Amino acid sequence: MIRLFKVKEKQRELAEANGGSPLKRQSPGELRLHKDISELNLPNSCAISFPNGKADLMNYEVSIKPDEGYYTGGKLIFSFEVSSIYPHEAPKVKCKTKIYHPNIDLEGNVCLNILREDWKPVLNINTIVYGLYHLFTEPNHDHPLNHDAAAVLRDNPKMFESNVKGQ
């Protein structure tokens, strides 16, 4: 039988003996996020980075380079802020790239149902990234944050495409 408490105690003693600080306890949210990040299966057009270093898993960025749809060839950066009670609360996601999009407002707020009312603890980071990617392949004018962009997309898709390419 493995005695986990003994192993943890040994690790703590070794860290302190080597002049290091005692091991930092991770919150359940950090443990789950670590698992989610280690299991990411992103499309080739998406990447994750840690601007504060990998020691700060709770704040990271995802870049998306759509390879189809109106936004083909663009690069969009999203910041993720994950709370310690993750997965019981969805990460806060903001678009850092100024963009003309019906589901993203000028402050970078994102209208994606799984980030709000449809969030469930069984969802994960991979699900969010695919949801964000889907916003660029299929923008949704039915539930807009940018009402002007949504009206143009609904009423004049050619003009919408021109506006997207002109930004």
Q: Three-state SS across 27-95?
A: CHHHHHHHHHHHCCCCCCCEEEECCCCCCCCCEEEEEECCCCCCCCCCCEEEEEECCCCCCCCCCEEEE
| Residue of 90, 111, 115, 129 marked active site | 111
CB contact at 8 A, 57 and 49: no
What percentage of the chain reaches a pLDDT higher than 70? Answer: 86
Q: State the pLDDT at residue 4.
A: 46
Q: How far, in Å, CA of 154 to CA of 140, rounded?
A: 9
**Whole-number mean pLDDT of the chain?**
89
Q: pLDDT grade, residue 97 (50/70/90)? A: very high
Residue 95 annotated in active site:
no
The candidate with the shortest Cα–Cα distance to 55, out of 77, 26, 78, 79, is 26
Q: What number of other Cβ atoms are within 10 A of residue 9's Cβ?
A: 11
Between the alpha carbon of residue 127 and those of residues 55, 73, 115, 120, 121, the distances in Å are 23, 22, 10, 11, 11
pLDDT at 107 > cutoff 70:
yes
Q: In terms of C-beta density within 10 A (0-12 exposed, 13-18 middle, 19 or more buried), how is residue 18 classed?
A: exposed
Q: For the whole model, what pTM was predicted?
A: 0.83
Give per-residue pLDDT as tens, 22-55: 556 788 899 999 999 999 999 999 999 999 998 8
Q: Does the domain formed by 26-165 have CATH 3.40.640.10? A: no
Phi, psi of 14 (to 5 degrees): -60, -40
Q: How far, in Å, CA of 108 to CA of 92, rounded?
A: 11
Angle CA 22–28–34, to nearest 5: 85
